[in-house]
């Protein structure tokens, strides 16, 4: 049978393709099936697992939409042991003379539904100080655009635009659950139009020596989408100066008036770096027209008042991880 298939492929001018594997192992030292993460992704079948042994893998990776239901996991269970790293920025010049742009700067681009990642680190190590000639300094560690995605014990490292939580298209729902993750950055480092829950996260707001130092979120939730970003049961830490960080601002891509940011930060410890008026305008759009709320936050950066909209207890009951993620199919990865 194989000879028949091989002959047929040669007759039509195609190369024989190795069958996809259910599970593969990636190891830099050659002790696995492949030495690069992308090779492992290319080889695994939908629904399979790519297990990555310790090391820093300097590469740009893509999980295409067709690779539904795959798992990418660090083999040791410790996120810092496995690092996927690259250093493209929006303004980095490509070989053809153009620049990457924000989306193209991503170290990892993950488009598949049902994707799971665990126990590894994604990093964009672009260094502003080392490249003063680059003024477009957005540098994405991960861009996600799938639905029913889970990131468990995953670290996201970057500065501007670290995690681009997106959807496959305008008007398409993309539900993403980030559990026990660590995320660091400064400017708009959690951004996009996905429905994303950050549950028990450690969020580090980096010091870039300015005021403002940055913005935790820049959601672009569609007007028709009830749920955008939820940060719950988490902790924000920062070495930045007191009152130098915003919780967020509303991103309207291309001036889109139907991108009405929705962000709730609840039951989360906030550092002194958070401003007393923690939400701000963006590109001429008022934060007051967005859907920004807090609920029962703690720490020196917490507060109430006219510029800090709070959920009522009744409202809080409808802004839970389960409500955000349920969608029309009752998806509930929360535990």
Q: Active site includes 207?
A: no
Question: Could you give the C-alpha distances from 171 to 85, 102, 286, 294, in angstroms and in order?
Answer: 31, 21, 23, 26
CB 37 within 8 A of CB 26: yes
Question: How would you write 48-87 as a 3-class SS string?
Answer: EEEEECCEEEECCEEECCCCCCCEEEECCCCHHHEEEEEC
Q: Which of 161, 166, 186, 199 is the catalytic position? A: 161
The Cα–Cα gap between 166 and 176 comes to: 9
220 within 8 A of 251, measured Cβ to Cβ: yes
Tell me the two tokens of residue 72.
Answer: 């990418």
Longest dimension (CA), the chain: 75
87 is catalytic: no
Report the catalytic residues: 161, 188
């Amino acid at each position: 049978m194989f000879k028949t298939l091989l002959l047929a492929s040669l007759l039509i001018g195609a190369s024989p393709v190795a069958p996809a594997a259910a599970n593969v192992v990636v190891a830099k030292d050659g002790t696995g099936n492949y030495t690069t993460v992308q090779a492992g992704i290319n080889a695994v079948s939908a629904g399979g697992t790519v297990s990555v042994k310790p090391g820093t893998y300097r590469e740009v990776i893509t999980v295409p939409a067709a690779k539904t239901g795959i798992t990418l996991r660090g083999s040791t269970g410790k996120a810092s042991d496995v690092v996927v790293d690259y250093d493209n920025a929006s303004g980095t010049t490509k070989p053809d003379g153009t620049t990457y742009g924000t989306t193209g700067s991503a170290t990892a681009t993950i488009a598949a539904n049902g994707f799971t990642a665990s126990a590894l680190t994604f990093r964009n190590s672009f260094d502003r100080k080392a490249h003063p000639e680059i003024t477009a300094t957005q540098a994405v560690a991960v861009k996600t655009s799938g639905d029913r995605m889970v990131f468990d014990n995953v670290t996201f490292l970057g500065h501007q635009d670290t995690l681009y939580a997106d959807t496959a298209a305008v008007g398409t729902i993309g539900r993403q659950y980030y559990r026990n993750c660590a995320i660091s950055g400064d400017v708009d480092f959690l951004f996009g139009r996905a429905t994303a829950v950050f549950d028990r996260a450690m969020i580090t707001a980096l010091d870039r020596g300015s005021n403002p130092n940055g913005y935790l979120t820049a959601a672009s939730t569609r007007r028709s989408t009830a749920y955008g970003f939820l940060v719950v049961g988490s902790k924000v830490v920062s070495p930045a100066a007191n009152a130098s960080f915003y919780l967020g601002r509303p991103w309207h891509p291309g001036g889109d008036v139907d991108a009405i940011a929705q962000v709730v930060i609840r039951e989360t410890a906030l550092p002194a770096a958070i401003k007393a008026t923690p939400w701000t305008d963006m590109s001429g759009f008022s934060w007051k027209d967005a859907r920004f709320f807090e609920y029962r936050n703690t720490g020196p950066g917490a507060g109430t008042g006219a510029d800090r909209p709070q959920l009522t207890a009744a409202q809080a009951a409808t802004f839970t991880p389960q409500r955000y993620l349920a969608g029309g199919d009752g998806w509930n990865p929360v535990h």
